[in-house]
């Protein structure tokens, strides 16, 4: 397949990977699996609400937090070196395929989590699925400056997220229908319907990824590596790390991105459990809320990408950060005893969805625009990815720690607003 930078066919093929893999963060990370995990662990928890694992009693939510944190830490450790190897050898596509395969099959393996005896299945494959998803994103995002020109990148990044939000909504709606009406499918086991959705996610992910594979080039710069590629990959990594210290705008953007990601990713990962445990909302309402977020995020990605062309990426990001801080405050003051608490949660979901699409789109495209002229896109994007993963580890730890000492998720959510403020301040050092 001929490589033509900026072509609509190439851009659509690239964006289609968002369509393929976005079912993971929606169905697995945000919607169905956290709620399924919460209900299953609640069934075998002791009188104090704890579960027994590896010789100790754990709060199930805290255990889940720490499991995800471990996966993000592992990604943060391995992705820079792997990216160095990928840039040196020119094999980004092969790495993308590997992590996609790891993630999709790990997600399908969650099917076997049914109770206390299989708790290890839930935790192990949560780690591996997370590594697969976030590992693949390093190499996927690294293609952005290679398949599009700078003046295209805001819209191309937005196109990817719009594809992702749209595709994931389709599968979520089907999953919701399956869970709510298992009788139509002759399903009597109450755990079978949600477990089947995990299989569908994996098949959707690996299946639609083939569209991307057919058009993305593997070795754009025609590199011819020697056999000592691991050491050369490490050397490549050191050179990029050294250059980062001299790129002031890029450095301050990564600092802001770190603080921003603490808040954004923690909220995304814990939204479902927050609604279930803290506000007492039923599963259907929670999944409907997440569906609203996805639909509004499509509009948010489109609207804010257009706004950025008028006022600039940095100014637009500042606006989204102010809104994120407002989201945290609203979540803090919500009381499950309020009449129509579900309506308040839906309103919060609309606000969150609006800025979620905007933030994810603009951070990716802004970072791409700030990169120097280079062939080492995978390494540079690995630092983007590492920043995000370390932020998630930190954010999940803070969330879980505050939950363990205060007994309230609302205190944890309020604490996240501090990080949005720090991100806002850091952006003043990044000139538009």
Q: What is the DSSP letter of 45?
A: -
Residue 204 has a pLDDT of: 97
Residue 347 has a pLDDT of: 85
State both tokens at 330.
């609203």
Place of tokens 């009449």: 339
406-412-413-415 Cα dihedral, nearest 10 degrees: 120
Give the whole-angstrom CA distance, residue 65 versus residue 419.
19
**DSSP class per residue in 364-431:** HHHHHHHPPS-S-HHHHHHHHHHHHHHHHHHHHHHHHHHHHHHS-HHHHHHHHHHHHHHHHHHGGGS-
Give the whole-angstrom CA distance, residue 203 versus residue 210.
11
Place of tokens 């109770």: 115
With a CB cutoff of 8 Å and minimum separation 6, the contacts of 106 are 125, 128, 129, 131, 132, 202
With a CB cutoff of 8 Å and minimum separation 6, the contacts of 98 are none
State both tokens at 432.
């538009």
Residue 378 has a pLDDT of: 66
Residue 108 has a pLDDT of: 97
Residue 120 has a pLDDT of: 92
Q: Which ranges of 219-276 does DSSP label H, i.e. alpha helix?
A: 229-244, 248-273
Give the whole-angstrom CA distance, residue 320 versus residue 325.
9
383 touches 244 (CB < 8 A): yes
Q: Which parts of the chain register pLDDT below 50?
A: 1
Residue 207 has a pLDDT of: 95
Domains assigned to the chain: 8-429 (1.20.1250.20)
| 3-state SS assignment for residue 64 | helix
Phi-psi region of 128 (alpha: psi -120 to 50; beta: other; left: phi over 0): alpha
148 touches 11 (CB < 8 A): yes
Give the whole-angstrom CA distance, residue 348 versus residue 326.
10
With a CB cutoff of 8 Å and minimum separation 6, the contacts of 7 are none
- HSE-up of residue 232 (Cα within 13 Å, Cβ side): 14
Residue 88 has a pLDDT of: 62
Greatest CA span in the chain, whole angstroms? 67
- Angle at the Cα of 153 from the Cα atoms of 130 and 255, rounded to 5 degrees: 55
Residue 256 has a pLDDT of: 92
Phi-psi region of 6 (alpha: psi -120 to 50; beta: other; left: phi over 0): left
Q: How far is CA 224 from CA 161, 219, 227, 229, in A?
A: 33, 9, 10, 10
Place of tokens 């699409």: 357
Residue 105 has a pLDDT of: 97
């Amino acid at each position: 397949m001929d490589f033509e930078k900026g072509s609509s066919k190439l851009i659509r093929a690239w964006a289609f990977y968002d369509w393929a893999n976005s079912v993971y963060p929606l169905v697995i990370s945000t919607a169905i699996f956290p709620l399924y995990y919460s209900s299953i662990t609640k069934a075998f928890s002791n009188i104090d609400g704890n579960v027994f694992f590896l010789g100790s009693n754990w709060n199930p939510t805290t255990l889940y937090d720490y499991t995800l944190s471990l996966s993000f830490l592992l990604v943060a450790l391995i992705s820079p070196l792997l990216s160095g190897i990928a840039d040196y050898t020119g094999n980004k596509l092969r790495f993308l395929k590997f992590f996609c395969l790891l993630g999709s099959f790990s997600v399908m393996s969650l099917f076997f989590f049914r109770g206390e005896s299989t708790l290890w299945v839930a935790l192990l494959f949560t780690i591996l699925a997370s590594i697969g998803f976030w590992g693949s994103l390093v190499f996927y995002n690294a293609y952005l400056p290679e398949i599009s020109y700078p003046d295209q990148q805001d819209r191309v990044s937005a196109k990817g997220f719009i594809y992702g939000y749209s595709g994931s909504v389709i599968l979520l709606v089907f999953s919701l229908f399956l869970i709510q009406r298992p009788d139509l499918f002759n399903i009597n086991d109450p755990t079978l319907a949600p477990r089947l959705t995990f299989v569908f996610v994996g098949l959707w992910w690996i299946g639609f990824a083939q569209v991307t594979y057919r058009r993305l080039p593997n070795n754009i710069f025609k590199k011819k590596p020697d056999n000592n590629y691991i050491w050369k990959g490490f050397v490549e990594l050191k050179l990029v790390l050294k250059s980062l210290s001299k790129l002031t705008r890029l450095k301050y953007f990564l600092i802001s991105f770190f603080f921003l990601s603490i808040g954004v990713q923690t909220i995304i990962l814990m939204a479902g459990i927050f609604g279930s445990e803290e506000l007492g909302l039923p599963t259907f309402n929670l999944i409907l809320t997440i569906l609203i977020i996805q639909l509004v995020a499509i509009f948010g990605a489109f609207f804010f990408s257009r706004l950025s062309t008028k006022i600039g990426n940095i100014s637009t990001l500042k606006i989204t950060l102010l809104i994120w801080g407002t989201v945290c405050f609203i979540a803090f003051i919500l009381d499950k005893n309020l009449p129509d608490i579900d309506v308040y949660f839906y309103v919060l979901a609309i606000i969150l969805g609006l800025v979620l699409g905007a933030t994810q789109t603009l951070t990716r495209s802004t970072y791409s625009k700030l990169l120097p002229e280079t062939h080492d896109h995978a390494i540079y994007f690995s630092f983007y990815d590492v920043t995000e993963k370390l932020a998630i580890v930190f954010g999940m730890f803070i969330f879980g720690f505050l939950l363990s000492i205060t007994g309230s998720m609302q205190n944890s959510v309020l604490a996240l607003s501090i990080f949005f403020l720090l991100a806002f301040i850091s952006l003043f050092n990044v000139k538009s």
